[in-house]
Amino acid sequence: MDSTDTLDLPDLAFAEALEQWALGASVALALIDAEHRFLRVNETLAAIDGVPSAAHVGRSLAELLPELDAEMGPLLDRVLHGGEPVTDVLITGAAPAEPARERRWNGSCYPLRARDGSVRAVAAIVVEVTDERQASALRISEERLSLALEGTQTGSWQWDIAADRITWSENLGPLHGLPRGAQPGDYEEYQRHIHPADRAALDAAVRRAVGEGIGYDIEFRVNTPDSPERWLWARAHVIRDLQEGKPAILVGLTTDITERKREEDERAFLASTAEALGGVRDPYEALTMIAAAAVPRLADWCVVQLVDREGTLEDVAVTHTDPLKVRWARELQTRFPPDPDAVIGAPEVVRTGRSELYPEVTDDMLVAGAQSPEHLELLRELRISSAMVVPLAARGRRLGAITFVFAESGRRYGDRELALAEELGRRAGLALDHARLFEREHRAAETLQRALLPDSLPSIPDHQLTVRYLPGAEGTEVGGDWYDAFALPDGRFGLAIGDIVGRGIPAAAMMGQVRTALRAYAIYAAQPAEVVDRLYGMTEAFGDVPFATLMYLVLDPATGEGCYASAGHLPPLVIPAAGPAAYAGSLGTPPLGSMQPATSPQAGIQLERGATLLLFSDGLVEDPPRPLDDGLDALAAAATAPSGELEALADGIIARMSGDRSRPDDIALLALRRT
């Protein structure tokens, strides 16, 4: 039947089959709305009142069947307002098609609900019982329904509650692991065919239906000898006893949804694997995760092998639910390494890029693959029942292979499992390729960054100077943090620290350009503010410099006097010989690459003997979601009175600020102490 605006028809796999059955059924069927107007009828009902089925739509029961409205109208209202079905009610009267003949019908009405649960319409079934002719028509109708449902892996059933007798259509036997036509008999025997993990949930739904007269929809698994897991969906309806009104019979439909559940499971498995691999930057960690995800979902054993630089296969991940067996398997591989020239298995898959599937691993196969009698016995102890090998590949390059093995579980691989394994291998290959690419870029950026930092530090009279640079934690790209210290022509010294906003090689390269430009401007500019002004001008002129912050300080070593200018950088921290550490004044300037101030401000600073000056990048104090001010307070607290060596102070600050947490950002630190 067509759906309407007032009615939500169920979206079932067998909806089309039911449509065909309803239109040609020998029992009268109708959909009637809350105003007792016909929405749809079949030809059998149309024959009762002599009006074509299409002409019923929108017309009322009282208009088309006035003789029967007196009995049928109250039944419809009971269902519409009470929400419960009314079944097996005897209706007597004359039909417009034969007004002189009194006839009898058995009528049943069922509520049809909208998505919000309200009853919006009624499904009416009218069966003529005037004579025995209708019994034959009913048998024909039932047979047509059975044939229609056969093609959709759906069967009908009923349970006589009092007699504890279950009968169902012939095709439901195979869906429950029984021969075709076999019946379960009673409810207890039926329960034995349900998967143990789902037995309690199904039993609870059945007991609620019996106790409260409420039907149910439920998905559950059954035990079948030919499949480790078959999924079924059942919808049940309660028929009440006419005299006492108690639930007497459960009737329902059951359909095989194994294919849908498998597809859902496979999509969920691949999605969870992709999500787990999304943030992995270490190649070996990625492959270990793949092997772990496969067991026990797709294998009892999973072995991941990569092609090394010499072209041989190296085991990088071996997984089994039992760690002892993993060690045993590694020892087995060490004692009996696979033949790299073998024409089957991982070596052949890597050479050809074609997967291999072994639905059943026979003893003859083990004999053919064994390297010695001892090796054969060890292979037999593995109890391998089935295996498959798929390639690890990315961008046209074969990187290795993944071997999946069913052993003690006794399961078998087929084409479906092979397709899933190949997709997993494809995703694993891409994850491995991305991780390797990231690792190469990370190392290249770190190498470039360290190469662009000063090779040595100047010797400043009456001062000690030390620096620290730590790249971000493994798994993150190198940033653009940098430091510098150099002598100026007038005997003063320049100290600088900065941070390029960005990651990887571009940030490291830009850091080198800014550092070089600062050194060049510092030779000809007497004051730090002049240097920063020229850097603002440079970034505005070129227009391709990303946001960057820096702090530039000029120090007179003879007096300890200094002055500094900033481009959006955090202020220096001064640690006196005694007493708490304190920050110098913040200048409130914007970063390079943004709006240029008319003139850069600068501020003075006095470094007393025994005091220490810290310049640092934001990676030392930032720890999202903690506020930046909290990080600055923590640094001031960590920089206690420097009674020890400057090197120890720098190491201690790094250790206390980093702790055990993984640092996502680089850290640059420059510490200067006046002695």
| Tokens (6 digits) for 620 | 């030392």
Highest mean pLDDT among 74-78, 174-178, 276-280, 485-489: 485-489
* Residue 4 pLDDT level (bands cut at 50, 70, 90): very low
Q: How far apart are CA 441 and CA 556, in angstroms?
A: 41
Q: Is the pLDDT of residue 146 over 60?
A: no
**Per-residue pLDDT, 464:** 96
Q: How far apart are CA 17 and CA 191, in angstroms?
A: 29
Q: How far apart are CA 616 and CA 482, in angstroms?
A: 9
Supply the range of the domain harboring residue 589. 453-674
| Tokens (6 digits) for 388 | 């498959």
**Per-residue pLDDT, 138:** 47
Is there a contact between 334 and 375 (Cβ–Cβ < 8 Å)?
Answer: no
- The pLDDT tens digits for 161-179 are 989 999 888 888 888 888 8
Is there a contact between 497 and 668 (Cβ–Cβ < 8 Å)?
Answer: yes
Considering the domain architecture, whether residues 394 and 531 belong to the same structural domain is answered as no
Considering the domain architecture, whether residues 135 and 162 belong to the same structural domain is answered as no
The CATH number that applies at residue 578 is: 3.60.40.10
Q: Is the pLDDT of residue 673 over 90?
A: yes
* Mean per-residue pLDDT over the chain, rounded: 83
Residue 264 domain-assigned (yes or no): no
Residue 231 domain-assigned (yes or no): yes
Considering the domain architecture, whether residues 501 and 643 belong to the same structural domain is answered as yes
Q: Is the pLDDT of residue 611 over 80?
A: yes
- The pLDDT tens digits for 102-134 are 777 888 888 888 777 788 899 888 887 765 445
The CATH number that applies at residue 120 is: 3.30.450.20
| Tokens (6 digits) for 645 | 């060596």
- The pLDDT tens digits for 531-542 are 999 999 888 877
What is the CB neighbour count within 10 angstroms for residue 73?
15
Q: How far apart are CA 572 and CA 602, in angstroms?
A: 13
Is there a contact between 28 and 72 (Cβ–Cβ < 8 Å)?
Answer: no
Q: pTM for this one?
A: 0.51
Residue 3 domain-assigned (yes or no): no
Considering the domain architecture, whether residues 519 and 601 belong to the same structural domain is answered as yes
What is the CB neighbour count within 10 angstroms for residue 286?
23
Return the DSSP state at 322: S
Q: How far apart are CA 382 and CA 67, in angstroms?
A: 79
Residue found by looking up tokens 């300080």 in the block: 553
The CATH number that applies at residue 400 is: 3.30.450.40
Closest CA to 124 of 21, 66, 37: 37
Helix extents (H) in 105-257: 133-150, 172-175, 187-191, 196-212
| Tokens (6 digits) for 74 | 């109250």
Beta bridge partners of 626: 623
Q: How far apart are CA 110 and CA 31, in angstroms?
A: 10
Q: Is the pLDDT of residue 336 over 90?
A: no
Residue 606 domain-assigned (yes or no): yes
* Residue 9 pLDDT level (bands cut at 50, 70, 90): very low
- The pLDDT tens digits for 49-83 are 788 888 999 999 999 888 888 888 888 998 998 88
Q: How far apart are CA 579 and CA 226, in angstroms?
A: 80
